[in-house]
Amino acid sequence: MKRARHLWLIILMMLVVGLTGMITKVEAAYPVSTDPMRVKQTYLDMIHIDQAWAAAGDSRTPIVVAVVDTGVDLVHPDLVGNLVDGVNLLQPSKKPQDDNGHGTNVAGIIAATFNNDKGIAGIAPNAKIMPIKALEADGTGGEAKLGEGIKYAVDHGAKIVVLSLGLNKYSDYMEGIVQYAEERNVLLVAAVGNESTSVKYPAAYPTVLAVGGVNSERLADPRSNFGPELDLVAPWDVYTTALGGGYQYQDGSSMSAPQVAAAAALVWGKYPSMNVYQVRAQLEQTAEDLSSGGWDSRTGYGLLRADLALTKPYSEDYFEPNENMNQAAILPVHTAVKAVLSSAQDQDWYAIDAAYDGFIKLWLNSADSSGVRVRFDSGETFIANSTSDGSQPFTVPVTKGRTYVQLQTVDRSRKTALNYSMRTDFVIYKDPFEDNDKQYKAFVLPDRSQSIRGTFHQKGDLDWFAISLKNSGTMRIRLSVDTGRIDPMILFQKEGEKSITIDQAGDGGIEVSSQMDLLPGQYYIRVSNMKDYSEPITGEYTLEIEYTPKLIDPNEPNDKSYQATFAAMNSVYEGVFNKSDDVDWFEFRMSKDGLAQVRLTNIPTSRILYATLYDSSLKEQGIYRNDYGTDQFFIEKTLPAGTYYIKLQANQWFMSQMYRLKVGSYALVSGFADIDGHWAKDAISQLTEQGVISGYGNYRFAPNQPITRAEAATVLTRALKLSKRQELRFNDMDASHWAYDYVAKAVQANIVDGYPDGTFGPDRTLTRMEMTQMLARSMNMTGKKRGSSPFSDVNDTYWGVGILKQMSADGWISGYSDGTFRPDEQATRAEFVTLLAKVMNR
């Protein structure tokens, strides 16, 4: 037993030793950072750096990463061991020492010394930093030094160049530098910028990896620039090395880009035979898609995954499967890709989203003589092969939105794979105001406030507009753009006079003129971009013109009562208030006693207009005003015959629109202003004086308005002085209705009743037949059966024909001149009152 126990102990010790050896080996192959501030580098966990380091294993192929920036802190304890010689392009006799801090921030993210018991861990332990100082101490710089820095890095052994900076300006020079790096197998990685606008250059060039930023929630930071050139996103917030040997938190796409550059260094360290396109494609195809449909303008191909970039096999065609339109791979409108058609049966479908109307340019290169057929969903088809001129693009007009492109081999019997490379670009539409690049070609605009949208669709595009003002007025011009690549400028000029320039806001800003006082004449507006672009600009500008004519008051001078403008009845008079103490007087005359009505309309809603009414001795008769926010008010007052004055005054002057004044007078008949001369005047007056009927207030009887069933029952009850009533059981009328008692008395007297569905319909309009029946019942008429119908539109089957026969025969009713009665038409208040008066006077 003892020997057995000893044997198990020996075996156990051997296992422990073996496991210890395995653990030791694992730690050597899969390192974990022990740097004391690693815990603050939470962004590294988002890109899964521990797994990436494990996947990198013992591969330590050194990769030189050039940081073209403000320089690097050359004595920082966490960087000093990972620096190679660089250059100071601003002062060549000096070292590229950082005097801003930005370059040191970038360098630490990439290559802070790994596991040195100091500070933080750089992403790429195999990276060596080449500091290139191309920016001033304030972080600014121009494209000349930027281009020089990139070329220096390429020529002195850098494999990767990181550019945490950007310009809004495209240039042939910089595009040439970018191409120079690409041809020499050097990867350029650049930040997109932090202004919530278009991707900056050089990130915007197709072969540069454009990197934006995401927050801790893996959402695109709203400040991160975006657009069709965006490739990847990485964490926005970092903890990194700082100038002076310290450490600090920093944020921005400037901190996102070096993470991608460092991941590229790890990839190239493990797979040194990869070319620049493959490294770029490997990072894109292994990114974690943050949207539901592949590439998008806010997050590109997705979030950097350093672990997957080192573990996932490289694919020559990572867009597969994309064999049909439903599987189409989404591509940015500015991109360069390589893929494979595996056979004649293989099809590659791509979807390209255009933010504007315009043209897609597509370059396709194929090494095969049979070539590739390119078909757009619009039906346009092209063939590219080894004999084609690959420098010439296919150009296809597209509308805003999605365009589909299908690629397949021309040789339909092909068995072998066919490699191809494709590049796309976009040219925005030509605006409808072209050709207006010269002043004499200026597009003529109407003389009013307006908003127009235009583009700079070609190099050196200038847009001229002309506006001819017939009246003096004020004008303000506002020019806005939807991209940071436009630095808008306005030139404004009156014909024959010196021009003025409005250019204050800078890239992507808004230019606004002061409010200008203008006299009648011809004016020119030129809209331009301050930058000298070699290509059309993908973006739109909006020109807003606020023009307020200074209207002339035709009634002036009328500032005193003795200067009052005579206002004829029912005529319209217009006016403005051209100063704060301006007063407008008007005079009108009432030829007889009656109702005066003063209507004031078209008042600016931001003004209050006061109207004071005076009699001929200038004794005040009332003060009236509009409510704030309303554009009109009315005055109605009964006045005896005579002369009257109206004084108008505003709480603040206005000249942008004219108020309108209209005075009317109406004779009052029985207290109503709308029955004088009406055919039913006598009947309305009689019943009004007897208290049978009343109007609607405001001196209105509304004789031609339809009468409701409740109103008719009420009038009949009053006219017949009915007193007995019964409780109503109509399901649409209870005791709270205003006419309940009147209807109850009319029902008791059997003058009215309800409908078969149990309703009375108190607010329904009364028909001519119902009116006739009510009045017939009030006279105890039941109708007659003998004789023919007296009206051509009423036959013997009509339910009320008996009543109509009797009422017509007795002379109570008559029809229209065409022989009809129109029983189902609405009865008016005038018709009902006239017939009722006739009944009462029998």
Write down how long the chain is: 842
597, containing H or E segment: strand 594-601
| Tokens, residue 572 | 């319209």
Are the beta carbons of 569 and 598 closer than 8 angstroms?
no
Q: Which amino acid is at 202?
A: P
| Tokens, residue 260 | 């991608």
| Cβ count near 24 (within 10 Å) | 10
Are the beta carbons of 601 and 635 closer than 8 angstroms?
no
Residues sharing a CB contact under 8 Å with residue 507, sequence separation 6 or more, in sequence order: 168, 484, 485, 486, 487
Q: How far apart are CA 495 and CA 469, in angstroms?
A: 12
* CB burial of residue 19 (10 Å; 0-12, 13-18, 19+): exposed
Catalytic, out of 35, 48, 69, 461: 69
| Tokens, residue 656 | 């942008």
Coil, strand or helix at 144: helix
Residues sharing a CB contact under 8 Å with residue 141, sequence separation 6 or more, in sequence order: 134, 135, 165
Q: How far apart are CA 332 and CA 324, in angstroms?
A: 19
Are the beta carbons of 416 and 345 closer than 8 angstroms?
no
Strand 488-494 vs strand 127-133: parallel, antiparallel, or unpaired?
unpaired
Are the beta carbons of 769 and 824 closer than 8 angstroms?
yes
Catalytic residue at 307? no
Q: How far apart are CA 257 and CA 597, in angstroms?
A: 75
Catalytic, out of 171, 254, 528, 778: 254
Q: Which residue is listed with tokens 């217009």? A: 574
**Maximal CA-CA distance, the chain:** 142
Catalytic residue at 69? yes
Q: How far apart are CA 546 and CA 549, in angstroms?
A: 10
Please measure the distance between the N-terminal and C-terminal CA atoms of the chain and give it in whole angstroms: 141
| Tokens, residue 716 | 């009949």
Q: Which amino acid is at 563?
A: Q
Catalytic residue at 291? no
Q: How far apart are CA 330 and CA 319, in angstroms?
A: 9
| Tokens, residue 378 | 């619009």
| Tokens, residue 540 | 């739109």
Q: How far apart are CA 540 and CA 562, in angstroms?
A: 58
Catalytic, out of 48, 78, 98, 102: 102
Residues sharing a CB contact under 8 Å with residue 398, sequence separation 6 or more, in sequence order: 352, 354, 357, 358, 359, 360, 378
Are the beta carbons of 188 and 209 closer than 8 angstroms?
yes
Residues paired with 204 in a beta bridge: none
Are the beta carbons of 388 and 374 closer than 8 angstroms?
no
Nearest to 421 by CA among 273, 275, 227, 269: 275
CA-CA-CA-CA dihedral for 352, 356, 357, 360, to nearest 10: -40
Q: How far apart are CA 82 and CA 108, in angstroms?
A: 10
Are the beta carbons of 94 and 239 closer than 8 angstroms?
no
Residues sharing a CB contact under 8 Å with residue 300, sequence separation 6 or more, in sequence order: 210, 212, 230, 231, 232, 233, 284, 287, 332
Supply the residues annotated as catalytic: 69, 102, 254
